[in-house]
Amino acid sequence: MAEEKQQRFWKAYEEAHEAFLRYCSALSYGKMDTEDLVQDVLLSAYKNFDKISPEKPFIHYLIRAAKNRKISIWRKLKFSTELIEQQALRLQSKDVAPDKILEIQHLYQTLDRLPKSQKEAIILFEISGFSMREIAEIQNSTEGAIKTKVSRGRTMLKRLLQQEDNHLSTSMNNLKTIML
Amino acid sequence: MNPELQNILAQARSVPTELSTEEVRAMFDTIVPQPEQAESNNHKLTPNQIKLIIMSLTTLSLSLVIYFFGFANNINSRTTSVIAPLQSSNQSEIKFQRELNDLDYFINQNYTKQERRARTAEIESLSLLTKGTNQSISIPERDIPSVDMKKPEFEDTQDQAQDNKMKYYSNYGILRYHEVTSDPLPELSSRTMRRMKRKLYKELVNDQLIRAKGIPVTIELHKDQITINNQVLNNELEIKYYQITHKAGTGPNRKIEMHSTYIKIGDFTSVGFKGSGLGTFEMEGPLELTAPNAPEDPWNILWKEERNALNQFCENLLDQMEHIPGKNPLFSVNIKDSEKLRSLSQSLRNALIEDEYITDPEDFILITHQKDKMTINGKTLDDNQRMSYVDLLATCKVKAAPNRMVRMSKHTISIGDFTPQEFTGTLANYED
């Protein structure tokens, strides 16, 4: 009985793995070890597996569980450089180039500055690769609202990234002046 | 979309996931217990259970030590109380603690500061006697007033001064007052009250606590409990409604009373309501601008008499005038800036003296301010004069309306909508 449940669970999970992991990586950036988050969510998902409605995709439950976990636990947590390093090491072990890792981490960091709802929508749409309709189902919202969130999120993200670039170039110029 | 941003996002999408499926599988196998393991795990004690066992064992051993090595150290001591039999070590400990607390309280009540200090030192050296199944406390002889061991009847007549205190009786029947403090009375703007009322009605209907908006609602905001129309809320709703009403504060008499036409937020005591209100509601008793229990201030008497005389003067004038009362407008006069109101009052009086509508600054004044008509003490103004007074009143955003009037005496001013039954607007009293 338990074995059968495990098999069913695993089959459902495998389909959701990639999107779920990308979501967790972006969500947990600097705040929690992704492994811990995945472990917590999997444990609760397995426990409630029989209660999860089979009509809705399993990934929806996983995404919601991860989000709820974030809300309940991380509110007071501060950024940890160790966790960021750990994430970089993991990606490095999967043959991802260091400059790419830096860019991705920069993106995650900038994403963290977006309003919550926009951040969620951007991660789910742009990084995890869900469709607008799926995101609307996960978030109990409408497609139109999600489109707005994604669009606003993109604009803000672009602005934040540009601001940081400008700030960086100004700092470099100042440094040059000091050096000269 | 910006190509650079698109590029970064594409990279984030294309890189391998932080954990591969195999890694997650391995993790899953370790965390999800096998059926046999799960069953054996059921027999393990949780950390809380272990803590409980350790605590019980410690308490039991302590009680045994006290039982075998307890002694009386003072011959002149007298036993003041006998507590319940030792049913379990935990219970006796609790009882002992209670007794100490009561004694502490009792001593604090009956002794001066120095005596209290000395007594506290003695209490610290209390010895415990245990005989058979009874446990007693012995206290060195001192003139302690005898304590009535009978539990007195609860008095129904509540002392006014102790309105905010909760009465209860300790083990010895000592009457104790536990003070339940109120938050300070809220000073809420009409915008805040209007928003709170709207939000409350919306949520109450959504939560099916009332049938429809506009139904009379009474929300009692106690420190530890919130009730809506005498219905105690569950935890989830309680948190929700505390959040909505947090600006109102809490207290034993703190309430929000709502109706379709008004909202009242404040303390509802046996002597009346004290707090903020918005809308049209009946005042309970005569209008008092000071605390209800305060001794009658001579100024209060003067203002009351002056206002009564002014109202009489106005009613007489209105009877003689051709005044057609209409429906009150949606927005009533609400002048929050008292300085502005004061300066309006002075400017009006000066203008009226200049235009010879009054000769004495102490004269009563009645100004009716309708759409195309303005009268001062029964005299209708021509357009030029009317416009100057309209501009003056507009400084405090007083606009024309069917029942809008300004009533002034030497020390009082009322601006708003007057009907025979009610007044909605702003009033102020001055001492000079």
Range of the domain at A151: 113-180
- In percent, how much of chain B has pLDDT > 70? 64
- The verdict on B18 touching A (C-beta cutoff 8 Å) is yes
How many CA atoms lie within 13 Å of A19's alpha carbon, on the beta-carbon side? 23
A94/chain B closest Cα distance in angstroms: 7
Output the average pLDDT for chain A: 82
Which residues are CB-neighbours of B342 under 8 A, at least 6 positions away? Answer: B428, B430
- The verdict on B9 touching A (C-beta cutoff 8 Å) is yes
- What residue type is assigned to position B153 of the chain? E
Residue B239: CB atoms within 10 Å: 11
How many CA atoms lie within 13 Å of B222's alpha carbon, on the beta-carbon side? 14
Q: Each residue of B219-252: pLDDT tens digit?
A: 988 877 888 888 888 888 888 888 888 888 888 8
Phi, psi of A174 (to 5 degrees): -60, -45
Q: Do B27 and A38 touch (CB under 8 A)?
A: yes
Range with lowest mean pLDDT among A2-6, B46-50, B137-141, B264-268: B137-141
CATH of the domain at A9: 1.10.1740
- The verdict on A26 touching B (C-beta cutoff 8 Å) is yes
**What pLDDT, on the 0 to 100 scale, is given for residue B366?**
92
Q: A78 and A159 share a domain?
A: no
**For A104, which of B2, B12, B19 is closest by C-beta distance?**
B12
Per-domain residue ranges of chain B:
51-140, 190-279, 298-429
- % helix / strand / coil in chain B, to the nearest 5? 40, 20, 40
Find chain B residues with C-beta within 8 A of A10's C-beta.
25, 28
The dihedral region occupied by B419, where left means phi > 0, alpha psi between -120 and 50, and beta the remainder, is beta
Q: A17 and A84 share a domain?
A: yes
A179/chain B closest Cα distance in angstroms: 31
Helix H segments across A1-142?
Answer: 2-28, 34-47, 58-73, 81-93, 98-111, 116-122, 132-138
Measure CA A121 to chain center: 10
Question: DSSP label at B366?
Answer: E
Q: Do B16 and A14 touch (CB under 8 A)?
A: no
Average pLDDT over residues A131-135: 89
Which residues are CB-neighbours of B62 under 8 A, at least 6 positions away? Answer: B89, B93
- Which of B410, B422, B418, B432 minimizes the C-alpha distance to B305? B410
Question: DSSP label at A126?
Answer: I
Question: DSSP label at B168?
Answer: E
Kindly indicate the confidence band of residue A88, based on its pLDDT and cuts at 50, 70 and 90: confident
Burial tier of B87 (Cβ tally within 10 Å: 0-12, 13-18, 19+): exposed
**For B31, which of A10, A42, A104 is closest by C-beta distance?**
A42
Q: A14 and A78 share a domain?
A: yes
Average pLDDT over residues B76-86: 37
Q: Do A161 and B21 touch (CB under 8 A)?
A: no
- The verdict on B387 touching A (C-beta cutoff 8 Å) is no
- Complex ipTM: 0.74
Find chain A residues with C-beta within 8 A of B24's C-beta.
13, 17, 21, 38, 42
Q: Tell me the residues of chain B between 21 and 80 that have a Cβ less than 8 Å away from chain A.
A: 21, 24-25, 27-28, 31-32, 34-35, 38
Examine the pLDDT at B141 and tell me if it is beyond 80: no
Distance between CA atoms of residues B259 and A155, nearest Å = 46
Distance between CA atoms of residues B194 and B217, nearest Å = 15
Kindly indicate the confidence band of residue A72, based on its pLDDT and cuts at 50, 70 and 90: low
Q: A17 and A77 share a domain?
A: yes
Q: A66 and A1 share a domain?
A: yes
- In percent, how much of chain B has pLDDT > 90? 3
**For B9, which of A10, A95, A127 is closest by C-beta distance?**
A127
User: Would A107 be classed as within a structural domain?
Assistant: no
Task: Answer whether B17's CB lies under 8 Å from A129's CB.
Answer: no
User: Would A91 be classed as within a structural domain?
Assistant: yes
Question: DSSP label at A75?
Answer: G
Measured CA to CA in angstroms, residue B392 lies from B297, B330, B371 at distances of 33, 22, 15
User: Would A102 be classed as within a structural domain?
Assistant: no
Q: Which of A71, A97, A123 is the last residue of a domain?
A: A97
| Chain A nearest-CA residue for B33 | A2
Residue A72: CB atoms within 10 Å: 8
Find chain B residues with C-beta within 8 A of A164's C-beta.
none
Q: Each residue of B205-224: pLDDT tens digit?
A: 888 888 888 888 999 888 77
Q: Do A21 and B12 touch (CB under 8 A)?
A: no
Q: Which of A97, A121, A139 is the last residue of a domain?
A: A97
A44/chain B closest Cα distance in angstroms: 10
Which residues are CB-neighbours of B27 under 8 A, at least 6 positions away? Answer: A35, A38, A39, A42, B19
Q: Each residue of B270-315: pLDDT tens digit?
A: 767 778 888 777 665 544 444 555 556 677 788 888 888 888 888 8
Average pLDDT over residues B41-53: 61
Which residues are CB-neighbours of B48 under 8 A, at least 6 positions away? Answer: none
- The verdict on A85 touching B (C-beta cutoff 8 Å) is no
DSSP-derived 3-state class of residue B405: strand
* Cα end-to-end span (Å), chain B: 69
Structure tokens at B245: 């009403």
Q: Do A2 and B34 touch (CB under 8 A)?
A: yes
Q: Any idea which residue has 């919130």 for tokens?
A: B226
Kindly indicate the confidence band of residue B334, based on its pLDDT and cuts at 50, 70 and 90: confident
Output the average pLDDT for chain B: 71
DSSP-derived 3-state class of residue B167: strand
Measure CA B26 to chain center: 56
Could you give the number of structural domains in chain A? 2
Kindly indicate the confidence band of residue B129, based on its pLDDT and cuts at 50, 70 and 90: very low
Which residues are CB-neighbours of B4 under 8 A, at least 6 positions away? Answer: A161
B207/chain A closest Cα distance in angstroms: 19
Q: Do B9 and A43 touch (CB under 8 A)?
A: no
Residue B67: CB atoms within 10 Å: 14
Range with lowest mean pLDDT among B29-33, B121-125, B363-367: B121-125
Find chain A residues with C-beta within 8 A of B11's C-beta.
100, 103-104
What b/e readout covers B392-401, taking b as 16+ CB neighbours within 10 angstroms?
A: ebeebebebb
**What pLDDT, on the 0 to 100 scale, is given for residue B22?**
85
Q: Tell me the residues of chain A between 110 and 149 that have a Cβ less than 8 Å away from chain B.
A: 126-127, 129
Distance between CA atoms of residues B192 and B249, nearest Å = 14
Burial tier of B308 (Cβ tally within 10 Å: 0-12, 13-18, 19+): exposed
- Which of A108, A23, A32, A112 minimizes the C-alpha distance to A62? A23
CATH of the domain at A134: 1.10.10.10
B interface test, pick of A96, A101, A163 with most B CB neighbours within 10 Å:
A96
Q: A57 and A21 share a domain?
A: yes
How many CA atoms lie within 13 Å of B181's alpha carbon, on the beta-carbon side? 2
Q: A70 and A1 share a domain?
A: yes
Q: Which of A97, A121, A154 is the last residue of a domain?
A: A97
Kindly indicate the confidence band of residue B8, based on its pLDDT and cuts at 50, 70 and 90: confident
Q: A93 and A5 share a domain?
A: yes
Q: Each residue of B99-122: pLDDT tens digit?
A: 555 555 544 554 444 555 544 444
Q: A118 and A69 share a domain?
A: no
Distance between CA atoms of residues B293 and B286, nearest Å = 13
- In percent, how much of chain A has pLDDT > 70? 88
**For B16, which of A3, A96, A106 is closest by C-beta distance?**
A96
